[in-house]
């Protein structure tokens, strides 16, 4: 039994996106295990139901996971499908991320008001208003495009697109490209923001399957869904976030790449207005063979992820990379930048 994160009839598009994401996981499982039957149970969370407040103001990511984990704990469901970026870097005891599926495009996308079709952010008139619910996006884009204004916009994808298309409040809005693609709305993407313009959120574009940590049958079943490259990239990103003690209430951003056995991680922290920032890049080798790792450490977690079919040494190297990069930024003053950002956000 799987559970998808979803809402009621007034939040149909979020339900559709959650269902699309869940269906994609179910389809992969059915191909791998044709004799098994999977039932999908729709549930909503506190975070899903609060649609009139900026994400950075309503609390931490557990708002999107607690009810679902309660269902897991009560054995009402066996798997929960999440957007990985919704999952905190430390999961409650008894839970683990049993699968991280192949990542969709993690970049941010610009969707323009119909009157601005064909433009880019740099071509919009001065004082044009851009909608985003993300402190991370706003901080970076304020620095890159100081002539533009950025305002909060909340709601599901359909609500935000309606606010954009039917009113004159926004010239454009910023959304994750992955969500737009999964909804079949790629044609609305007017501009993809490169990492030079806007580093993305930790885990953005990846789907995660959360399970009970001690349920070996389910853990073994879903582990076949792991995409090794995505696992290593996301372990590094989550370790970076965890060491910084970051979350949705502070602007923390990343970019990762795995090439020729080398994992590259770029990480950055920003003040709310983007005027103060720290950004560095580090790399490490993750070119390790898979070894027989059965034994006392066979269920070791790396920032909440259990991936026995990915070399343990590679996972350790990825986690260490994230920690080391965060430590470098902390040594240069990242804690002060994030502390001030958190205080200013709380005061807004």
- Asked if 86 is an active-site residue, the reply is yes
User: Distance from CA of residue 166 to its chain's centroid?
Assistant: 28
DSSP code of residue 272: T
Buried b (16+ CB within 10 A) or exposed e, 275-307: ebbbeeebbbebeeeeeeeeeeeeeebbbbbbb
Q: Judge residue 11's burial from the number of C-beta atoms within 10 Å of its C-beta, 0-12 exposed, 13-18 middle, 19 or more buried.
A: buried
Which helix (H) or strand (E) covers residue 218, if one does? Answer: helix 216-222
Task: Provide CB contacts within 8 A for 347, sequence distance 6+.
Answer: none
Contact 272, 139 (CB under 8 A): yes
Q: Are the C-beta atoms of residues 345 and 135 closer than 8 Å to each other?
A: yes
User: Which of 86, 215, 227, 229 does the annotation list as catalytic?
Assistant: 86
Catalytic residue numbers? Answer: 86
């Amino acid at each position: 039994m799987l559970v998808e994160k979803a809402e009621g009839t007034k939040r149909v598009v979020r339900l559709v996106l959650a269902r699309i994401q869940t269906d994609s996981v179910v389809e992969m499982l059915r191909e791998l295990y044709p004799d098994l039957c999977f039932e999908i149970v729709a549930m909503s969370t506190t975070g899903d139901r609060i649609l009139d407040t900026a994400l950075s103001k309503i609390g931490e990511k557990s708002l999107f996971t607690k009810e679902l984990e309660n269902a897991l704990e009560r054995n009402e469901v066996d798997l929960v499908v999440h957007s990985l970026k919704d999952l905190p870097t430390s999961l409650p005891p008894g839970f683990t991320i049993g699968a991280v599926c192949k990542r969709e495009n993690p970049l941010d996308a610009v969707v323009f008001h119909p009157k601005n079709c064909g433009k880019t952010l740099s071509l919009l008139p001065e004082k044009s208003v851009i909608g985003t619910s993300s402190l991370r996006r706003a901080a970076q884009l304020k620095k890159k495009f100081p002539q533009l204004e950025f305002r909060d916009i909340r709601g599901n994808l359909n609500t935000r697109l309606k606010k954009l298309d039917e009113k004159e409040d926004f010239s454009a809005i910023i959304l994750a490209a992955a969500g737009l693609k999964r909804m079949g709305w790629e044609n609305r993407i007017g501009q993809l923001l490169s990492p030079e313009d806007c580093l993305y959120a930790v885990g953005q574009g990846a789907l995660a399957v959360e399970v009970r940590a001690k349920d070996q049958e389910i853990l073994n079943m879903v582990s076949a869904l792991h995409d090794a490259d995505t696992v290593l990239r996301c372990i590094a990103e989550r370790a970076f976030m965890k060491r910084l003690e970051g979350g949705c209430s502070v602007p923390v951003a990343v970019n990762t790449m795995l090439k020729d056995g080398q994992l590259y991680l770029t990480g950055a922290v920003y003040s709310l207005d983007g005027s103060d920032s720290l950004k560095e890049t580090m790399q490490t080798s993750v070119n390790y063979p898979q070894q027989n790792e059965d034994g006392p450490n066979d269920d070791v977690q790396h920032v909440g992820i259990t991936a026995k079919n990915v070399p343990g040494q590679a996972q350790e190297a990825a986690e260490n990379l994230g920690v080391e990069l965060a430590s470098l930024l902390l040594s240069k003053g990242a804690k002060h930048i994030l502390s001030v950002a958190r205080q200013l956000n709380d005061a807004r």
